[in-house]
Amino acid sequence: MKLLVFAGSARSESFNRRLARVAADAARAAGAQATLLELADYDIPMYHAELEARGTPPDVIRLKEAMDAHPAWIIATPEYNGSYTGLLKNTLDWTSSPVAGHPVFADASRPFAGKVVGMLSASNGALGGLRAQSHLAPLLLNLGCWLAPRAYALPRAASAFDAQGQLLDAEQQAQVADVVRQVLWAAGRLHGEQA
C-alpha cells in the first residue's frame, strides 16, 4: 500500500513535520510504501482565480501527481488560531482546482475522490490541535475523501520528542501507529490490497 504523509507546515522545527515523520516510520514498519512529502519543496503561490487563468503552476501539477499516486494519506495539521494553517488551505485550494485541458486533472475529482485520509495534529497546548482537525475534517469530506474515524492529537508537543524527532512516550507512538494502521486497512479494502 502506498501512503502519502505530509504536514501543513514548512517551519524547520515544526512539531507537525516531526509527527509526520513518526507516522511515515510507523507506516514503513507496517509494511507500507510511505512517501514523506514536504510542502516546502513546492513553489506554490497564494491561490487566486486570475493567477490560475494564466496557467496552473508546474509545482501544483507535480503535487497533484504525488497526491494522485497514493490511495492513502496522513495529514499532520498544525493549529493556528483554532484552525488549520493558511499553507494547508492554499495547498488544498490549488490541488482541488481542475486544470483545463489536462489529460488527468481536468477531472475536478482528482486527486481527492476516494482517498482514505487520517488526521494527526500536534500543538504545545493541552488539546494537541483538535480544533484544527475539527475544521479540516469537513473540508476533506467535501473534497470526496474517506476520512478515517481514528485520529490523534498530540498535546504538549514541545516536550514530546527526543533529539532525533521520535516520540518519547510509547503510548503516543502507539496512538500514531493506530491511525496509520486504520488508514492502511481501509485503503486496502477500498482500493484493493495491491494499491
How many domains are contained in the chain? 1
Give the integer Cα–Cα distance in Å for 48 and 189. Answer: 37
pLDDT for 193 = 63
What pLDDT band is residue 192 in, cutting at 50, 70 and 90? confident
pLDDT at 11 exceeding the cut of 50: yes
Which residues, other chains included, contact 168 with Cβ-Cβ below 8 Å and sequence gap of 6+? 159, 160, 161, 162
Above pLDDT 70, what percent of the chain?
Answer: 98
What is the reported pLDDT for 191? 87
Range with lowest mean pLDDT among 57-66, 106-115, 131-140, 185-194:
185-194
Condensed to tens digits (0 to 9), the pLDDT of residues 130-161 reads 999 999 999 999 999 999 999 999 999 999 99
Cα 173 from Cα 160, distance rounded (Å): 10
26: which 3 cell numbers?
A: 510507523
Whether the predicted pLDDT of 107 surpasses 70: yes
Band (pLDDT 50/70/90 cuts) for residue 35 is very high
Report the C-alpha gap between 52 and 165 in whole angstroms: 37
Q: At how many degrees (to 10) do helices 15-29 and 170-191 cross?
A: 60
Reported as a pLDDT band with limits 50, 70 and 90, residue 75 is very high
User: Residue 195: what pLDDT?
Assistant: 45
Which residue's entry shows cell 507516522?
23
pLDDT digits (tens, 9 = 90+) for 81-90: 999 999 999 9
The three grid cell numbers given for residue 72, joined into one nine-digit string:
492513502
CB 144 within 8 A of CB 92: no
pLDDT given at position 155: 98
CATH number where 109 lies? 3.40.50.360
Please give the pLDDT value at position 115.
97
168, amino acid identity: L
pTM to 2 decimals? 0.96
**Which residue segment(s) compose the domain that 44 sits in?**
2-191
